[in-house]
Each structure stands twice: as C-alpha cells, then as structure tokens.
C-alpha cells in the first residue's frame, strides 16, 4: 500500500488511465463509503491509495493522468 501521494501519482502515470480505477474499499458503501485507487500491474489489480472519498480519489487520478502543456 502506498501512503505517499506523490508515489501513487507516479505509479498511476506509469500504468496510464486504462489501467487505473477507483473502487469502494471492501465493506464500504458505493455511495457514501471510502474508496481506494487501484492500478493493474502484471495483470493484477493492486491498491495504491486507500481511505479517500470518491471525489478525492477521482481528482487524484485526474491529476496524475492529465498532462498540462505550458507554452
């Protein structure tokens, strides 16, 4: 499990958006429970960040996969 958000962002960048998902944590409600971010690496889904609200998790994934071009 990754506790460091920056490390999680790097892992998400490595696998890309098609290999990243936000899912409810085990035993949590889809609507009101905590979520986790999982990445697929080597054909297996593994959690990289847990205990986030769905909004926070989705924002973190968006931050990791969006590339901003400055110029």
The bridge status of strand 44-52 relative to strand 20-24 is: unpaired
pLDDT at 3: 57
Radius of gyration of the chain (CA): 12
pLDDT at 33: 82
For 48, which DSSP code? E
pLDDT at 31: 75
pLDDT at 45: 96
Residuewise pLDDT in 10s, the chain (71 residues): 445 888 999 999 999 999 999 999 988 877 778 999 999 989 999 999 999 999 999 999 999 988 655 55
Q: Which of 40, 37, 8 is nearest to 24 (CA)?
A: 37
pLDDT at 30: 73
H/E/C letters for each residue in 17-34? HHHEEEEECCCCCCCCCC
């Amino acid at each position: 499990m990754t506790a460091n958000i920056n490390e999680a962002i790097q892992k998400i960048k490595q696998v890309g958006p098609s290999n990243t998902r936000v899912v409810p944590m085990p035993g949590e409600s889809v609507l009101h429970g905590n979520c986790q971010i999982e990445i697929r690496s080597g054909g297996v889904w593994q959690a990289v960040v847990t205990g986030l609200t769905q909004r926070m998790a989705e924002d973190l994934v968006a931050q990791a996969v969006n590339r901003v071009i400055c110029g």
